[in-house]
Amino acid sequence: MRPSVLLPRLIKNFDSKLDEIIQEDLPILKKIKKHVIQSGGKRIRPLTHYFLCQLHDYKGSIWKDVGAIAELIHGASLLHDDVVDLSELRRGKPTVGALYGNKTAILGGDYLLACGIDHLNRLNQPEIMAAYTKVIRDLSVGELIQMEWEKNPKITLAIYESVIYGKTASLFGAVSISAGILSGLKGKPLEKIHNFGIQMGLLFQRKDDYIDYFDDSKKSGKIPLKDFMNGLYTYPILLLQEKLKKNDLKIIHDLLKKEMKSAEDKAMILHYLEAFNIQSELLTMLKNDGNSLIQYLSELPESDIRKLFIEKIEELIN
């Protein structure tokens, strides 16, 4: 089946399953359910789960349930994130907090998590249940570490990657290992598929950070230099500050600390990033990550799904 037909059909499957899983009892929950399902997104987590199930010859049907639950956990985490980050917009649309209040957003996120875990419990898959409950724990830990270190110039790459693991990579790892579990993988093969997911999550976040500073196209839908304007320490800045001496380092820290940043401030940070070849260095990291993922997929039997999955990874690294 052609990607132009397959992907929309899969996304529709996951959206239908989300609609089934979220059993709303109150008018406000109906609104939150509609918001989550219609919020868009590429559904990359459930698609990753489906692709890996297919590539490991899983013949059952609960991939729809497991993939949808992953998207539900992701959606719930976004409701919570938007409250913590005081965000009023996501993908150009008002957040649940902006529409209905932050208390509603927090409780709505909790409700979505409860719906997901309740549905997962009904699948009678204890290993997958363990993987997904660990994700919820990791999300909380990642958010707490981020709150502790956000806008702190002493943050290191290691600390930042622990945040990324909790908030992004852990869920990618769970959708991957759950595909392995459903496909009957054990031992080393199960560990490899889990590591594939974690690495994919890291790549996903690195690309997101890259886009913020270096992608001037409008395809991403992101506001250019948003992370810089918010004073956040992400991959480009963390790689840069490892190369700077004391005086230049202070200039960068002072720029990030400013509440209101000017066009000159934007030009200054871009000048430093260019002078120290940060774009090239980060691109190399992306390509190395992507090539490692492609190597894993290349060892699996050839198929249209494998070709499509590799193409999607290549889009992330080019």
State the Cα–Cα distance between residues 99 and 121, nearest whole angstrom.
32
List pLDDT tens digits, range 39-51. Answer: 767 899 999 999 9
Residue 145: give its domain's CATH number: 1.10.600.10
Quote the pLDDT of residue 139: 95
**Within-domain flag for 280:** no
Residue 220 has pLDDT above 60, yes or no: no
Higher-pLDDT residue of 53 and 90 is 53
Residue 262 lies in a domain: no
With respect to residue 219, please indicate whether it lies within any of the assigned structural domains.
no
pTM score of the predicted model: 0.94
Residue 121: pLDDT band with limits 50, 70, 90: very high
pLDDT number for residue 25: 80
Does residue 223 fall inside a structural domain?
no
Using CA atoms, how far apart are residues 66 and 73, in angstroms rounded to an integer? 11
Q: What is the mean pLDDT of the chain?
A: 93
Indicate whether 312 belongs to any domain.
no
Q: Into how many domains does the chain fold?
A: 1
**273 lies in some domain:** no
Q: What is the mean pLDDT of residues 174-198?
A: 98
pLDDT at 223 over 80: no
Q: Is 195 exposed, middle or buried (0-12, 13-18, 19+ CB in 10 A)?
A: middle
| Domain span at 138 | 3-208+288-306
Residue 135 lies in a domain: yes
Q: Is residue 133 part of a domain?
A: yes
Whether 1 has a pLDDT exceeding 70, the answer reads no
